[in-house]
Structure 1
Amino acid sequence: MTITTTDTGLLRLLQLSSAALPVGGYAFSQGLEQAVERGWVDSAGSAREWLSVQLAESLARVDLPLLLRQWHAVTTGDLQAQQHWNAYALACRETAELRLTDTAMGEALRKLLRQLEALNPEPAVETISFVTAFALAAGYWDLERRACCCGFAWSWLENQVAAATKLVPLGQTSAQRILGALIAEVPQAIDLALSIEDGEIGASLPGVAMASAGHEVQYSRLFRS
């Protein structure tokens, strides 16, 4: 499917999904560091598989469907729906670390949007999910919903491949091969997200949850917990 947007919209999407956006996504491995420590991820192939499963079973079934609902709530001005789906997103985080990843990035983006005067209006939520904050920015800048999903997926993927590059470790060429392979899986993930009903939103990846919980007490680590 072709994504159509204005030149300005495309540039705003690049800004929102850039690793240079000061939200701290680079500081979290989302369990990957512990997975490497345990030997579950020890090569380019296993890193690709680790991320591919998360893309298909977590992003496509939780984050992207929630992002779509928040995008609709923002673009229609439904503050009650924004509060509901924000709480739903936070409830889907299976460990304290995964919740911290979501809320720390969400709060950083909310703070940035306030400074840019790009929140209008802002939902009355004390703790904000990154999904919610991303949708607020997308709505303010009038980004098309599928493009919004592409930007969100790219932001997650780029940060995770960067973490794998440091941790496995991977060479730059191997990292680019992983990015290329997983980019090809993003459209299918978005298609799945678009088809999911409200009551179907949710997923559990026990390995990721175990790795994240283990990372919270890992003796030596590069990434935040």
Structure 2
Amino acid sequence: MPDATKTQAAAAGTGACAPAGHDLATLLTLFTASFPIGGFAYSHGLEAAVREGAICCAEDAAGWVALLVARGSGWNDLVLMAAAHRALRAGSVGALAELGDLAAALAGSAERRAETRLLGDAFAAAARPFLAGTQMSDGAAGAGALPVVAGAVAAAAGLRLDHALTAYAHNFSSGLVSAAVRLVPLGQSEWVAVMAELRSSVASSAARASVSTLDDLGSSALVSEIAAMRHETLETRLFRS
């Protein structure tokens, strides 16, 4: 992962200025639970973890999500998103397909591979109004793994990488905490408290990812990967992953 100096530089750059009004409106549209890609149907293995007793309260949920964003599948998503953003900015549309294949290979279970691909396709379709007149207006780079599509769309829409990474990390975290609200269950006030606690993880991981390379890919969230595999064999379930 990036060293401390690079991370501090990225964090400083992220805080240098807030998104302009137009870009902020785009971020708030693309990276929210209401963006119509069907993210509410996936728990990313969290349902199995709750069923097995690994997540029983708000504190457990916060720790689970923070780990994913810092050193798990969420971190890998941010690194892949950053690579896709840079590729599109450099005009390397062909590199997006390779990044999509890499993202699929990093998914530790069949459900997670289906999750990232289906959500990526849905994201590309839903984002079309933002892509008129851009490199992606013809849909040539508009399908594949979610973080790759999200990075390419953000670049095509002219969004700054650090802002887009923060928005993605926040949306990733919010989706999992919302799943925990239904599964644990948690109260709405606990949802707010968990999201407040996750702010530092979201910001620091996005800052690190903004200066990352593909060499920084890697996950140590093995329990989450195992939970995602076990979810596939649950007899009854609310979520698709």
Please, what TM-score do these two structures have when normalized by structure 2? Answer: 0.86
**Aligned residue pairs, count:** 224
Structure-1 residue corresponding to 2:49: 35
- Maintained 8 Å contact 1:83/1:123: no
Q: Secondary structure, in 3 states, of the residue corresponding to 1:29?
A: coil
Structure-2 residue corresponding to 1:187: 203
Which amino acid in structure 1 is aligned with residue 98 of structure 2? H
Which amino acid in structure 2 is aligned with residue 14 of structure 1? L
Which of 126, 134, 137 is equivalent to 1:120? Answer: 137
Alignment of 1:121-200 (within 5 A): 122-123=139-140, 128-200=144-216
1:139–1:29 distance in 2 versus 1, CA, 3 Å: same
1:194–1:117 distance in 2 versus 1, CA, 3 Å: closer
Question: Aligned partners of 2:68, 2:131: CA distance in 1, in Å?
Answer: 34
Question: Aligned partners of 1:53, 1:76: CA distance in 2, in Å?
Answer: 32
Q: Secondary structure, in 3 states, of the residue corresponding to 1:184?
A: helix
Which amino acid in structure 2 is aligned with residue 174 of structure 1? E
Structure 2: 5+ residue stretches without partners: 1-14
Q: Determine whether 1:105 maps to 2:105.
A: no
- Maintained 8 Å contact 1:22/1:108: yes
Question: Aligned partners of 2:130, 2:206: CA distance in 1, in Å?
Answer: 29
Question: Aligned partners of 2:73, 2:199: CA distance in 1, in Å?
Answer: 13
**Deviation sequence 1:105-147 (CA, Å, 0-9, x none):** 001112223466543354458x601112212321222101100
**Deviation sequence 1:146-180 (CA, Å, 0-9, x none):** 00001111111111110000000001111110000
Q: Determine whether 1:93 maps to 2:107.
A: yes
Which amino acid in structure 1 is aligned with residue 137 of structure 2? N
Alignment of 1:61-100 (within 5 A): 61-100=75-114
Give the CA deviation at 1:2: 3.2
Question: Aligned partners of 1:70, 1:157: CA distance in 2, in Å?
Answer: 21
Which of 207, 210, 225 is equivalent to 2:223? Answer: 207
Q: Secondary structure, in 3 states, of the residue corresponding to 2:72?
A: helix
Q: Secondary structure, in 3 states, of the residue corresponding to 2:198?
A: helix
Question: Aligned partners of 2:138, 2:209: CA distance in 1, in Å?
Answer: 26
- Maintained 8 Å contact 1:3/1:147: no
Question: Aligned partners of 1:3, 1:151: CA distance in 2, in Å?
Answer: 15
Which amino acid in structure 2 is aligned with residue 147 of structure 1? H
- Maintained 8 Å contact 1:106/1:130: yes
Give the CA deviation at 1:224: 1.3
Which amino acid in structure 2 is aligned with residue 54 of structure 1? L
Which amino acid in structure 2 is aligned with residue 190 of structure 1? A
Please, what TM-score do these two structures have when normalized by structure 1? Answer: 0.92
1:68–1:124 distance in 2 versus 1, CA, 3 Å: closer
Which amino acid in structure 1 is aligned with residue 205 of structure 2? A
**Deviation sequence 1:79-103 (CA, Å, 0-9, x none):** 1222221211111101111111101
Higher alpha-carbon deviation: 193-202 or 28-37: 193-202
1:88–1:15 distance in 2 versus 1, CA, 3 Å: same
